[in-house]
Amino acid sequence: MFLLPPEHLGRVRPLFRKMELHLALQALLAGEVDAPVYVDDTDHPHLALTRIQSRIYLAGKPGTHGVADAARKVFLGVLMREALREGREDYLLFYPDASWEPFIKLMLSDREPYLRAMQHYTFKEATADWRGILPEGMEIREVDATLLAGNWQNLDFLTDEMTSERPTVEDFLAKSFGVCLTRDDEILGWCLSEYNIHHRCEVGIAARTDVRRRGLATMLALAFVEMAQSRGVVKVGWHCGARNFASGKTALKAGFEHVADYPVYLGCFDPALNMGQRGYFELLDENFASALACYEKALSLPDAPEWAHFGAGCAAAMLGETERALAHLSDAVEHGAEDGDDFRGSKFLTSLREDLAFNLLLEKLDKRKMGKQR
């Protein structure tokens, strides 16, 4: 694999035709995003590999075993090292279609990322006037220098997202746009543009956890699209995981339509964290035996994430392995778990609620929480 000189980016444009819904790539090809592109041949490339933030893209045609090995060396030796230096622990690997999966398995071999289904929505027409559903005491504001000059309690909730794609807040204000929802001196949510290019943009949206399930994200999306259209944007895209039902429903409620499904691999660069994450997704997918195996493998590795003890307990409980579940949950408590409500509220632990040992763990957690509140 060779690093493609920036002046030759046009040579890989045909390779990315099947991935036009990924606006980050279009921004890269237009010179709006600075990211290295590696190819199998600099003069006549057939395969391209690049990283934009936490997103890694493969495009073109899957190569031979030798090309997969070369791509692996770039992934581990360059892309992973640079991502870790930037403080990025995980990645999403995008590719054109399922025909790439044997190549990716060769390329990543022992890295064991998790295959997930993603969805893409595009805006069709507004379903309501957001002004008519704005709750009393809340305001929709444009994200601009005037807003940022205000005395907000949690301004970093907004500015962290503004700099997730753009290098600085100032660069965001110059090239992107968005709206946020406020109440008194608090920022409750935001909806920001991502990868603005060629009269297109994508949506980045979030609401604070304590105000979710009240239709506020739908309202934010409606206000955002209105602003986008006033700025000449004609196509607004929305990506989310197929299992992120809340995000998909919000998109539909705001007037977006579901237009595409595509696969993506999710992974963490650290092996223990990666296996813990695999366990989490297996648990969500109700593959409890696989979830338990992943969690226990994560716990056998150096620097295992402490939350894997709780996940392993949940998976074991769902398999009816009570003693194994209690052993993992006890380890979770010993490794710093603090809130018994997480144990009480888990749908995966309902079988343990009458168990004496489980309730003793809850008592221990409650005492620990009360002691910290004093």
| Structural domains of the chain, with CATH | 2-112 (3.40.630), 123-264 (3.40.630.30), 270-373 (1.25.40.10)
CB-based burial of residue 338 (10 Å sphere; 0-12 exposed, 13-18 middle, 19+ buried)?
exposed
pLDDT at residue 32 is higher than 80: yes
Q: Would you state the pLDDT for residue 372?
A: 66
Which tens digit of pLDDT belongs to each residue from 190-218? Answer: 999 999 998 999 999 998 877 777 789 99
Q: At residue 148, does pLDDT exceed 90? A: yes
Q: 235-241 and 200-207: which strand pairing?
A: parallel
Tell me the per-residue pLDDT of 152-199, one tens digit each, with 9 for 90 and over: 988 998 999 999 888 899 999 999 999 999 999 999 999 999 999 989
Predicted local distance difference test score (pLDDT) of residue 259: 96
Please say whether the beta carbons of 300 and 331 come within 8 A.
no
Residue-level pLDDT at 367: 85
Query: Using CA atoms, how far apart are residues 310 and 221, in angstroms rounded to an integer?
Result: 35
181 vs 219: CA distance, rounded Å: 9
DSSP 118-156: EEEEEE---SS-GGGGPPTTEEEEE-SHHHHTS--TTTH
C-alpha–C-alpha distance, residues 319 and 312, integer Å: 11
pLDDT level of residue 373 (50, 70, 90 thresholds): low
d(CA 109, CA 132) in angstroms, rounded, equals 53
Return the pLDDT at 366.
87
pLDDT per position as a tens digit, 269-315: 999 999 999 999 999 999 999 999 999 999 999 999 999 999 999 99
Distance CA 236, CA 200 (A): 6
pLDDT of residue 5: 94
User: 126: how many CB neighbours lie within 10 A of its CB?
Assistant: 14
Three-state secondary-structure class, residue 365: helix
How far, in Å, CA of 208 to CA of 193, rounded? 18
pLDDT at 242 over 80: yes
Cβ neighbour number for residue 171 with a 10 Å cutoff: 13
| 52-69 confidence digits (pLDDT tens) | 999 999 999 998 899 999
Mean pLDDT in residue range 320-342: 93
Please determine, for residue 235, whether its predicted confidence score (pLDDT) is greater than 80.
Answer: yes
Quote the CA–CA distance of 213 and 234 in Å, as a whole number.
29
Quote the mean pLDDT of the chain.
93
